[in-house]
Amino acid sequence: MAENENAHGVRDRGRKGTTNRETEPARAHGVNDAEPRPADTPSFEAAADYRRVRLDLIPLRRRDKMPADRRWQERVYEQGEVLERARRDGLNLGVRLPADVVVVDVDPRNFPAGRDSLAELAAAFDLPLASAPHVLTGNLSHPGHHFYFRKPAGAVLLDSVEGFEGVEFKSLGRQVVAPGSVHPSGGTYRWAPDSPPLPDMPELPAPLIEAARRPERKSVTGAGEITAEQLAASLEHLDPTDFREHDAWRELMMACHHATDGAGRQEFIDWSTSDPKFSDHEWIVGRRWDSLHTDRDAAVTIATLRRRLSEVGADIAQPDAAEDFDVWDEVEPGEERRRWNFLSLDEVESLPPPRWLVPGVLTEGSLAAIYGAPESGKSFLAVDMSMAIAGGVNWHGRQVERGGVLYIAAEGAPGLGKRFRAWKVDRCAQGRRFDLHLMRDDLNLAAEKDGGVRAFVQAVTDELGPLSLIVIDTLNQTAAGADENSAKDMGRYIASMKLLRNATGAAVVVVHHSGKDLGKGMRGSSALLGAMDTTVEVERATDGRSIKVEVKKQKDAERGSPMRFNMEKVGDSLVLRPTVMEVMEGEFAGGMDPILELARQEANERGGSIPLKELAAIVCERDSVSDKTARRKIEQAVPDGRSNARATIDGFMVWLEPMDARNPRLGILVRTEG
């Protein structure tokens, strides 16, 4: 091995003692970094901040950064119980990160000598640190930082970017310590004094997302055979000091990466850095692990890990059977936990409002039903919304939240390909990426034994990545042997929908039939209606060409006016096109014009404005109309002058104004302002 080259294949640069550069990175960007203070017990005042933005709190070990429970990524935590347990046992709290939040985790100890990686990252990618909610990590000797940002849910990031040592990106599948927790050194994790509120997380800059985006890897046979917990237990049999020779260490890392399909990153870092010689190499080990995500082939597999373990008389650790049960590890046998969770008036008022997946129709993480008579067009509506969400395309003038979609096609699957193709042609979206998955296997969500359902849910979470919407088409075909009029049978079906919702965070929508009398709503037990957050009725007109779509139940918001669509032929299928889009009452008033919403979307994508002629060209292509007709539509929807601006669904103001007031011949701009 070359002189000064460590077992991890990186030349040692030397490590300076604690200097001001370890406490300065945040100050350099206008953040006030107060001195950490010693603490004996955690504080839980900050918990409400996370509940407002729907971030899950999880229990951590006492004065530690590690989760208190195994399989914490999969557990469903009730926040009141988490807080009660943490207060009772003096535990720290962690934040389980969802797909659309990323924490920039800064550890100045890993900065190269004489450099400030945080400042360099901010300069290279225009990272708005001063506007990001900011937590000081509590290490008394080496203060670090957590900066919170939003990101697209579908963008999966590596944990580090080459050239910026000491900076990591944590998102889905990871957790960070919550403010109020106690660091092992005795300091307290706390909000920086001038941190913006947590709901005000800015977007992570697009160039940084691209630089950190995880490359797609082809499937490798046998990858992911064991869990991260099994890896940690297996590595306990191996002495890290026996792997100081670089090639042996790298071979073992590759074997562990293959064995967990990349999920054992932190466990391998912890094992590697338990060697006192490399105790400060967290970032280096993590970066080497991340580099394996770009490898196209797995030359070293889990077999190498098995061989190394057999050399010391051990084998891969087997999963603990107790992990199959969702139990509290810290609760003593026979100890009785309180079942009730009481909220104060302040806590109730601070609960976050529902976030729209499809504005006015469907909220995130909800249970919903689309129902109607046979041939009413309800499946066309489900496909229409699924494609809009999977592609991030506005849904008839309403800006959706883009995300992954799973469409469970238990009925009519052979015809769905034609519908998807027609939809893309109609929206001129043939080249757009759609994060949509189709499943057509048999599935029974009302089975008396839920083992099959749990196995299905596990497969969904393991294989499909983040999801925003799951469509079950139809209830009848996924409830074999169940009596739709039985509250008990439908109770099992509802429990399965909730299990899917809780495991994925997605809105779960079931397509169902109405009874013989449409006025009586959905067919079957009233338990189904009672469990739904939203129900949408689809009724076909007598002309056979148009449908009426009406939200009949909206648990957490006002119901809007009915929407009407024509079912028009495109290619060898049908698509929905709006006819009379009646203006909704309340918060959506004035924001339902599809042209107005299109103008807002296109102008925002171009920095706040778009030339009228360019928007007209988009309308021409989308609606197959002449330039004159397109301009007339735009001018009817978008008023002249800032003082006459119209508001969209999400509160943006849109108006027309000359590019140059002194020379109107230069053309007209469509302007938008949030």
pLDDT tens-digit series, residues 526-585: 888 888 999 999 998 877 788 999 999 988 777 777 888 988 888 888 999 887 444 333
The pLDDT assigned to 117 comes to 92
Summarised one tens digit per residue, pLDDT across range 495-537 is: 999 989 988 889 999 999 987 766 778 888 888 888 899 999 9
Among 319, 347, 376, give the residue marking a domain's end. 319
In the prediction, which pLDDT does 341 show? 63
Is residue 135 in some structural domain? yes
**Most confident stretch, 31-40, 182-191, 645-654, 664-673:** 182-191
Which of 618 and 438 is assigned the larger pLDDT? 438
Domain range holding 277?
228-319
Q: How confident is the model at residue 266 (pLDDT cuts 50, 70, 90)?
A: confident
Mean pLDDT of 41-69: 80
Whether 1 maps to a domain, the answer reads no
Kindly tell me if the per-residue pLDDT of 47 is higher than 60.
yes
Instruction: Please indicate, yes or no, whether residues 466 and 424 belong to a single structural domain of this protein.
Output: yes
623 and 566 belong to one structural domain:
no
Give the integer Cα–Cα distance in Å for 565 and 580.
7
Mean of pLDDT over the chain: 80
| One domain, residues 178 and 267 | no
Q: For residue 217, tell me if it sits in a domain.
A: no
Helix, strand, coil fractions of the chain, as percent rounded to 5: 35, 20, 45
pLDDT band at 434 (very low <50, low <70, confident <90, very high): very high
503 with 646, same domain?
A: no
User: Residue 219 pLDDT > 60, yes or no?
Assistant: no
Residue 20 vs residue 256, higher pLDDT: 256
CATH of the domain at 420: 3.40.50.300
Nearest CA among 419, 411, 439 for reference residue 500:
439
- Same domain? For 576 and 615 the reply is no
Same domain, 578 and 600: no
Residue 147: pLDDT band by 50, 70, 90 thresholds?
very high
Last residue of a domain, one of 187, 212, 237: 212
Count of structural domains within the chain = 4
On whether both 384 and 457 belong to a single domain, the answer is yes
Mean pLDDT value across residues 71-90: 80
For residue 346, is it within any domain?
Answer: no
85 and 180 together in one domain: yes
Task: Give me 139's structure tokens.
Answer: 């290490």
Residue 603 covered by a domain: yes
Q: Could you read off the pLDDT of 102-126 as tens digits, one per residue?
A: 999 998 888 888 899 999 999 999 9
Q: Positive or negative, the Cα torsion across 231, 237, 241, 247?
A: negative
Whether residues 649 and 542 share a domain: the answer is no
Q: Are 387 and 514 contained in the same domain? A: yes
In this structure, the answer to whether residues 517 and 373 fall within a common structural domain is yes
High-pLDDT (> 90) share of the chain, %? 23
Give dist(CA 102, CA 176) in Å, integer.
Answer: 10
Residue 526 lies in a domain: yes
Q: Collect contacts of 421-426 with beta carbons under 8 A, ≥24 apart.
A: 421/571, 421/573, 422/570, 422/571, 422/572, 422/573, 422/574, 422/575, 423/383, 423/384, 423/387, 423/570, 423/575, 424/387, 425/570, 425/571, 426/570, 426/575, 426/577
Any domain includes 347: no
- The type of residue at 606 is R
Last residue of a domain, one of 562, 582, 602: 582
Same domain, 368 and 489: yes
- Does residue 219 belong to any structural domain of this protein? no
